[in-house]
Amino acid sequence: MSRKIGFPHGFRIVPWIVISTVLWMVSCAEVPITHRHSLHLVPDSELLSLSYQQYDQVLHESRLSNDAQKVAMVRRVGTRIARSAETFLREAGQGGTLQNYHWEFNLIEDEKTVNAWVMPGGRAAVYSGILRYTQNDTGLAVVLGHEVGHAIAGHGNERMSQGLLAELGGTALAIALSTQPQVTQSLFMTAYGAGTSVGVLLPYSRLQESEADHIGLILMARAGYDPRQAIPFWQRMAQQEGRQQPPEFMSTHPATQTRMADIARELPEALKYYTGSPS
């Protein structure tokens, strides 16, 4: 059933259209590879400051893994994916954004949590529960390539911007933090998929997921990891989804037959960058 939207008497819609258009034009950013323009209302400086605070809080409230071999794997793969991302951004003419990245990869000991995320500035966490699905370096490269893909695409800023518009009427981040700090911090953690601290996870849009998959394939291939292993990883995750309640990583990153078909279609492009050994 259609629903007619009414406006108060005297409401002039044209100025609001103009304002919205101007806001979009001055606040958009380009996503690497896909070249889509997305809305970024939050300044990098404010986003990075909040990121560092929230990341430190997550680490303080979590138990870091003391498994030296697994920690080394997370940092090894993470560093290679990060280096691949930096090289790609320079070649794409976006090297100026690299000043915002200070990569850090930590493994959180939590076998029940199947999740991983990357915050603005390159702060990343992998939960030990996801390692039984990644199985090896290449499987982990699928996950971290995907998450770093979200980061360099600015998907978190896009969702944070959408959240500020929806929840706080477009209030500036600095003002929102001072007037409604709990809501804003929860919004931030949710926007970046770090929902174990707030108990809430919102799914990325299908478009953002597709972009992260696409970028992730390129990043892992350039880092020397076989991008063809992305499909077996998502198949393992899909099998787990069919057995019980989807793990956190599946809740925010829904694996479907359509997704795997999209990945298969994008593999030829990624394989152009695959040299056969980690760089």
**Alpha-carbon gap, residue 204 to 80, rounded angstroms:** 25
pLDDT at 244: 57
CA 17/CA 34 separation, integer angstroms? 27
Distance CA 256, CA 66 (A): 34
What pLDDT is recorded for position 268? Answer: 97
Find all residues with CB under 8 Å of 229, minimum gap 6, and list them: 138, 139, 141, 142
Beta bridge partners of 116: 126
Question: What is the model's pLDDT at position 259?
Answer: 84
The number of beta carbons lying within 10 Å of the beta carbon of residue 157 is 23
CB 276 within 8 A of CB 224: yes
pLDDT score, position 96? 85
- What value does the CA radius of gyration of the chain take, rounded to a whole number of Å? 19
- Give the length of the chain: 279
**How many Å apart are CA 98 and CA 128, to the nearest integer?**
28
Neighbours of 109 (CB within 10 A): 16
8 A C-beta contact, residue 144 and residue 126: yes
- Which residue, among 209, 170, 175, 174, has the nearest Cα to 193 in the 3D structure? 209
d(CA 141, CA 248): 18
> How far apart, in whole angstroms, are the C-alpha atoms of residue 259 and residue 198?
28
One-letter amino acid of 140 = L
105 close to 169: Cβ distance less than 8 angstroms: no
Q: Measure the CA–CA gap between 161 and 41, rounded to whole angstroms.
A: 5
Cross-sheet strand order for the sheet of 123-127 = 104-108, 123-127, 116-118
pTM assigned to the model: 0.75
- Domain parsing of the chain, residue ranges: 30-271
The tens place of each residue's pLDDT in the chain, 279 residues long, gives 433 333 344 434 343 333 344 344 444 667 776 677 767 667 777 778 878 888 999 999 999 999 999 999 999 999 999 999 999 999 988 888 888 899 999 999 999 999 999 988 899 999 999 999 999 999 999 999 999 998 898 877 777 776 666 554 444 444 554 555 565 556 555 555 554 433 333 456 778 888 999 999 999 999 999 999 999 999 898 887 555 555 556 555 555 678 889 999 999 999 999 988 775
Is the CB of residue 188 less than 8 Å from the CB of residue 119?
no
pLDDT per residue as tens digits for the range 122-158: 999 999 999 999 999 999 999 999 999 988 988 777 7
